[in-house]
Amino acid sequence: MKRTKCGLVSRAALILSSVAIFALAGCSSGQAPPPKVEAEGAPADQNIGERLFVETRFAEYFAANQTDVNAPLATGDPVVAQVQNVYTGPMPGPFAGESINCRSCHFVVEFEGVPGAGNRTYADFTTRSPLPLPMNGFTTTPRNAMQMVGSLQPRSGPAFLHFDGQFSDPADLVKETLTGRNFGWGPTQYQQAIAHIGDVIRNDNGMNTPAQEYGCNLSYAVIFLGTDPAIPPDCLLPAQYRLDVSTATDEQIVDGISQLIAQYMYGLLFKQDENGNYYASPYDVFVRINHLPTQPAAGQTPQQYAKALLQAVNALSNPIWVTGSYGAFKYHAQPFAFGATELAGLKIFLTAASGAADGSLHAGNCAACHVPPNFTDFSFHNNGAAQEEYDAANGAGAFMALSVPTQAVRMQNYNAYLPVTANHPNATESFRHPAVPGSPQYADLGLWNVYLNSDIPNPQTALASVVCPNPANCGADQGLASTIAQFKTPMLRDLEDSAPYFHNGSKLTFNDVVQFYVNSSLLAREGLLRNAPPEFGSMSIGTDDISALVAFLESLTEDYDDT
């Protein structure tokens, strides 16, 4: 696999790969030149990071069933034998016969060409991913596996990872995952987990499939030491990642692994040119060939850019449409196109209504949260998905009436409400739990579970900067209440390849998503949406806007892969 500093792409086919957008005869005044992208091999830290990302020997199941760290399992973990797909039903698992790894929930090209599956943007195909072992009442993860591509896209503010912002550092996320329940480890098994992972690293012989594909057929001990002159450049780690695993502690080894996988995650980006301009979707081509602004100008905020883009779009008197002459998708059946319907959807997407009283103004105000060109603000909002799920299980209006404790009460009764941690291994996670009919104590309050939670200290400073940017006007309970049912805003690029949608995977199609916003914004206008986002006050869309918005969302599709 090869990358550029702009993302995962193939070496020779990088510039136009699946979208031969600009391979045109001649260049009229309406046609922008092709993006300039410099091809280069993947850095060694990202290569080894990917090897660790797909390593199947770190899981508790492997630790419990191994005979030797280099020997295959006699029987693989049943959880990876099949992959759950809400669209087609179970599919054969690419890691059948082994145990779980990071890519077991964050797929890319493992199902390329499979009907109802196809490429993924490091997401899975189901509402919530299965866990290797039932734990604390959970048989699946509490949330849908959020797509990873673009999650570490450069930005001006802090990075938040997971739907509830539990992590602000990707290395922290990786370490928690490798030693936590996603890999089968219980909340009191941390020392066992790091001891096992350290054992795998120290005794690896460099002969398994990840070593062959990403690790130059070298053992982890040789790779981490980094002194063997025979190590190829693709596997020669920079000095800051080197480690003598024979003398390093288990903690040092796991920290080193986490840093390398984090570096790999930083490379998971949608295709951009050397100036950071996206270019691979029909929308991006439309913007480019019509000479619309592609990103914020110097000194311009993303929100100001969105308004400027709307002005420029509205000023187009004779738009140039994107048709098949600009290229074709390799992995998608839809035409590579941006026409009048997509443009109508773009205008609805960017337009905000002033004092919207109904849904008739064709104003989605979507860009208030899904800010172009990244189509996210990297922050948190309540779109009503948690309320919809809870009310479906407990009756209309139940979420509005749900008793939510104050900061003092919830911390005094941590086990009754908050997520499991090493300090509280018996916590019920009742407010980070899918809604269950007949069990009204279960709800998912999103960011509420993390904000001001002393068991999760690392992201608190970053979270405070977005929840309470002015602490003098924001007490603990006021800030906490504002986080109820808030979840991280996903990036909309190549959204087709991260379905199903929302934190609970409750929406299967773009039509479902847009219809949900028609309904949810109506609830907000009627005062029936708890902790309604202020952005809904400027949203005015109806069912007659759905087809245009769906067409626009489809125009953000690109042929993402990692080959």
Say how far apart CA 517 and CA 345 lie, in whole Å.
14
Share of the chain above pLDDT 70, in %: 93
pLDDT band at 519 (very low <50, low <70, confident <90, very high): very high
Residue pointed to by tokens 């990873």: 148
Q: Is pLDDT at 202 greater than 60 in this prediction?
A: yes
Q: Is pLDDT at 35 greater than 70 in this prediction?
A: no
In total, the chain counts a number of residues equal to 563
pLDDT band at 116 (very low <50, low <70, confident <90, very high): confident
pLDDT 10s digits, 358-380 = 889 999 999 999 999 999 999 99
Mean pLDDT for 505-527 is: 97
Say how far apart CA 490 and CA 518 lie, in whole Å.
19
Rounded alpha-carbon distances, angstroms, from residue 66 to 77, 99, 194, 195, 198: 11, 11, 16, 14, 15
Q: What is the per-residue pLDDT for 20?
A: 40
Where does the chain hold its CATH 1.10.760.10 domain(s)?
44-266
Task: Find the angle CA(211)-CA(39)-CA(19) to the nearest 5 degrees.
Answer: 100
Mean pLDDT for 234-261 is: 98
Say how far apart CA 527 and CA 518 lie, in whole Å.
15
CATH class of 44-266: mainly alpha
Which of 372, 430, 434 shows the shortest CA–CA distance to 403? 430
pLDDT 10s digits, 324-353 = 999 899 999 999 999 999 999 999 999 999
Q: Give 432's strand partners.
A: 444
Mean pLDDT for 409-414 is: 97
pLDDT 10s digits, 42-97 = 799 999 999 999 999 999 999 999 999 999 999 999 999 999 999 999 999 999 99
Q: Is pLDDT at 441 greater than 80 in this prediction?
A: yes
Q: Which amino acid is at 311?
A: Q
Structure token digits, residue 208: 């398994």
Compute the mean pLDDT over every residue in the chain, rounded to the nearest whole number: 92
Q: Is pLDDT at 4 greater than 80 in this prediction?
A: no
Q: Is pLDDT at 292 greater than 90 in this prediction?
A: yes
Cis link prior to 373 (omega < 30° from 0)? yes
Mean pLDDT for 529-541 is: 96
pLDDT band at 18 (very low <50, low <70, confident <90, very high): very low
